Structures are given as C-alpha cells and as structure tokens.
Amino acid sequence: MTTDTDARDELIDLAADFYDQFAAGRIPELELPTRTKSNIEYDPESGVWTYGDRTSTRSANSVRGARKLLKAAYTIEFLADQLDADRSSTLRELYYLSESWDNDEAQFSSQDESNDLVEDLEIVTGVTREDFHMRPEESGATLMGPLELREQTRRGEREIHCQEDVGEGGYQIPNNPDMIEFLDDDIDFALAVETGGMRDRLVENGFDEAYNCLVIHLKGQPARATRRITKRVHDELDVPVAVFADGDPWSYRIYGSVAYGSIKSAHLSEYLATPEAQFVGIQPEDIVEYDLPSDPLSDSDVNALESELEDPRFQTDYWEEQIELQLDIGKKSEQQSLASRGLDFVTDTYLPERLDAMGVL
C-alpha cells in the first residue's frame, strides 16, 4: 500500500519533471499509453488485460496540450495539498473546485475532463486515485454473506459481520477497500450480481445462507471499489467468483470489467481484475434452453455485440460461441425473466444447476 507521503512525492516528482523540461528549454510533455481498445493486450503472467506499447504524447506544443498540462499542474498542487492536510474529496468536487482556481485556463470544462486527468495522473505516477484521496461520487455497492471483517474508518476501527451485523441492505463497501481487513469467513463462493432486484431476491430467498455464498451487488457497471474487493475476496479467501448478470451485450461488458479489467482503467487491471471470475448467465444459451421471456435485439445491441466480437477481451471460444448464438436468435433476456418460472426458480433450480455445471458447487 502506498503511503500518503509516497503518493505526494510521486506527484511532486511529476511537477519537477515539467520544471526540468522547462529549464532545459524544452517543451513540457507527458507520455501516456494510448487508452483505446486497440491498445490493450493480454498479460499472460497476471492473466489480465493491460495497456500495450502504444503511447500518445500530451505536449504543450499545441493550445489544447498546453491547457491540459496547465490543468495537470494545478491538479497536482491540489492533490499534494490534500494529502498534506489528510483530507479527501470526490471527483465531482475536484471539478467544481477548479472553479475556485485563480486561472480561468486551468478550470475544467466538464467532469469527464477532470476524471480523465486524474486517471492520467494515476498512470504516470503509478499511484491509485484512492491513494490520492480521491473517491467517486457514488461509492461501492454492498456485500451480504458469511464474512467478518475490520474496517479502518475515520472514526476508528469497526468489526463487522456481513450477515449478522448488517440489515437487509448488507455491508456498504468503502471507497478504499484496502482499508478493510478480512477476519473470518465461511464462504464457499462469491456471487457478483448485476441488478439490485436480483440481489434482493437472493437475500430474501436466503441463498447466501443456504449456499454459504457472499453476494456482491455490482450496481450496474461496478465501481473500482467493488471490483477491488471482489479481487481481494477471490485472492485472499481463495474462493471461486461467479458473475450473474442480464443476458445482453452491456452485461457482458460488466462481466468483462470484473474479470479482465476495463479499457479506461487498464493500468490498474492487476489490482482490480479477477481473471478467474466465471460468467453464470444469463447466457444466450439459457434463453433457448429455459425458454425465457425475451426482447428482440435493438440495432445498438447488435452493434455492441459485433464490437465485442472484435474486443480482444472477448476473443475466447466461449464468448464467440455465445455472442454468435445471440446474434443468431436475435433475443436478449433480463435476470428477472427467470421469475416467469416462479420466484424460487432462480435459487432452487437455475443457479444450482448453472453453478454445478461450472464446477463452483
């Protein structure tokens, strides 16, 4: 874990880099890996997808580049001060905070811009934004299952059991899951669930208790904290991880970012991705096999599926087969469509069958 001082030093080093470039009569520039789909590569050692060798240069040689670097200088100062004062802020706060800077040119024009810049700084300094004390606006999702942990909060240490000490909502994952220490568990496997409705269904049906399962709520595209804790559960507790999502291309991307890492944060894949995570469903195959109620694929669905066929992360036999099958049948189904067979069908039949077939149970 990076200490606050380390993080601060990395930032100052970057500023010193700019300084030295100026002093040498050179044009300040920043070299970053190209953050596009075509520049992510499979790293066989860690089993995750990281950025390839292609880089692009932010140079002050252009008006755009100069503005970016000026903003970087101001953001470095802000983050360094924040670490000094042991405060934290959200990405959105950074965006608004830039309005208070004395220089109009340094202000962000949109939150995407400030988010991107923080990611750029993560990449060059090798320090995660959590260690810069930056957090996303919406925090991570929830855990429910036989796990006892200790969280380091600003108000002291808390020991929490994620079934007994929490309500039906479950345990709220903090922004920096590295502040958590696992104490004890009785988990056989972890199940990451896309939608809140399905998570609630599993809890109501007592699935976590019946199968010693840690139910992780992904809340759509999972936040970094959710992905990080998933990886830690897998690595530290040595349990299999399965992802349960809708049967459409967008949900496959959710699985992709849990298992392989996302394109935007490929520099952190080693830290966030769980390559061993398996996809439970809904598989296109299930739509056929269980005759699930379905919607036709829209044009954007088809485009997304086709683009996934070209996505290096999905170039496995399994995914090619599933995606092509889905394009063939032209249908998609939600997790909740399993309710067409009764409310208990998912916990009594579908999941046990699928998890058994996958070798998780």
Partner 1 sequence: MTSFQSTIGDEEGIAEELAEGQREISIAEFFEKNKHMLGFDSGARGLVTAVKEAVDNALDATEEAGILPDVYVEIEEVGDYYRVVIEDNGPGITKEQLPKVFGKLLYGSRFHTREQNRGQQGIGISAAVLYSQLTSGQPAKITSRPKGQSRAQYFELIIDTDTNEPEIKADEETTWDRPHGTRIELEMEANMRARQQLHDYVKHTAVVNPHARIELREPGLDEPLKFERATDELPAETEEIRPHPHGVELGALIKMLEATESYSVSGFLQEEFTRVGKKTADSVIDTFRDVHYGRELAWAPPRTHDDRDVEAAVADAVANKGKEATTAFAEGVAETVADNDRLARSELAAIVDNVAEAVASDTGRTFGATVRENAVAAAWAAITGIDPDADEPDGEALVPDVYALVDEATSTRKDDAIVEAMAEALARRFENLDGGAFRVTRDDLERLVADAASFVAEQHDATFGETARENVVEAFWSRARTVPDDPPKVSSIAGDRDAAADLLEAMRTTDILAPPTDCLAPITAELVEAGLRKEYDADFYAAATRDAEVHGGDPFIVEAGIAYGGDIPAEGAVELLRFANRVPLVYQRGACATTDVVKSIGWRNYGLDQPGGSGVPNGPAVISIHVASTNVPFTSESKDAIANVPAIEDEIELAVREAARELKSYLKKRRSMQQRREKQDVLGRILPEMADKVSEVTGRPRPDIDGALARIMNNVSVEREVRDGTVTLVVENHSDVTETLEVTDIVSAEPTDLSDGTVVAMDGEWFVQWKPEVPSGDERELTYSVADDADFEVSVGGVETEKLTVNA
Q: In what order do the strands lie in the sheet with 147-153?
A: 156-161, 147-153, 180-185
**Any contact of residue 106 with partner 1 (CB under 8 A)?**
yes
Q: ∠ at Cα 244 (328, 40), nearest 5°?
A: 75
Which of residues 62, 300, 303, 340 is near partner 1 by CB under 8 A?
Answer: 62
Q: In the complex, what is the shortest distance from the CB of residue 100 to partner 1, in angstroms, rounded to a whole number?
A: 15
Nearer to partner 1, 26 or 54 (CB): 26
Least Å distance between CB 202 and partner 1? Answer: 49
> Does 318 participate in binding partner 1 (rule CB under 8 A)?
no
The answer to whether 67 contacts partner 1 (rule: CB under 8 A) is: yes
Rounded to whole angstroms, what are the CA distances from 118 to 32, 130, 133, 359?
13, 11, 11, 40
Question: Among 34, 56, 57, 61, which residue interacts with partner 1 (rule: CB under 8 A)?
Answer: 61
- How far CA 246 is from CA of 118, 210, 286, in Å, comes to 31, 23, 11
Quote the CA–CA distance of 233 and 173 in Å, as a whole number: 12
Q: Which two tokens stand for residue 103?
A: 């220089």
Q: Is 19 in the site for partner 1 (CB under 8 A)?
A: yes
Task: Name the phi and psi angles at 280, rounded to 5.
Answer: -80, -55
CA distances from 164 to 111, 149, 168, 333 (A): 39, 12, 10, 34
Counting contacts by CB under 8 A, is residue 18 touching partner 1?
Answer: yes
In whole angstroms, the minimum distance from the beta carbon of 82 to partner 1 comes to 13
Stretch that binds partner 1, among 62-70, 120-128, 174-182, 184-192 (CB under 8 A): 62-70
Q: What DSSP character marks residue 131?
A: T
Least distance in angstroms from the C-beta of 11 to partner 1:
8
Contact with partner 1 (CB under 8 A): which of 44, 63, 154, 317? 63
Contact segment (CB under 8 A) with partner 1 among 68-76, 143-151, 285-293, 329-337 equals 68-76
Binding range to partner 1, per CB under 8 A, among 15-23, 126-134, 209-217, 307-315: 15-23
Query: How buried is residue 335: exposed, middle or buried, by Cβ count under 10 Å (0-12/13-18/19+)?
Result: buried
60 is a contact residue toward partner 1 (CB under 8 A): yes
Which residue in 230, 266, 202, 198 sits closest to 39, CA to CA? 266
- Report if residue 73 touches partner 1, rule: CB under 8 A: yes
The interface region with partner 1, picked from 17-25, 155-163, 181-189, 248-256 by CB under 8 A, is 17-25
* Near partner 1 in 162-221, by CB under 8 A: none
Q: Does 15 bind partner 1 (CB under 8 A)?
A: yes
Active-site amino acid positions = 96
Contacting range for partner 1; rule: CB under 8 A; set: 13-21, 198-206, 215-223, 285-293: 13-21
User: Are 270 and 50 contacting, i.e. CB atoms less than 8 angstroms apart?
Assistant: yes
Question: Would you give the distance in Å from CA 247 to the centre of its chain?
Answer: 19
Nearer Cβ to partner 1, position 77 or 200? 77
Does position 77 bind partner 1 by CB under 8 A?
Answer: yes
Terminal C-alpha separation, the chain: 34
Measured in whole angstroms, how far is the alpha carbon of residue 313 from the centre of its chain?
A: 15
107 sits near partner 1 (criterion: CB under 8 A):
no
Peptide bond into 187 cis (omega under 30): no
Count of other CB atoms within 10 angstroms of residue 237: 14
Minimum CB separation from partner 1 for residue 125, in Å?
13
Which residues bind to partner 1, rule: CB under 8 A?
A: 11-12, 15-16, 18-19, 21-28, 60-63, 66-67, 69-70, 73-74, 76-77, 80, 103, 105-106
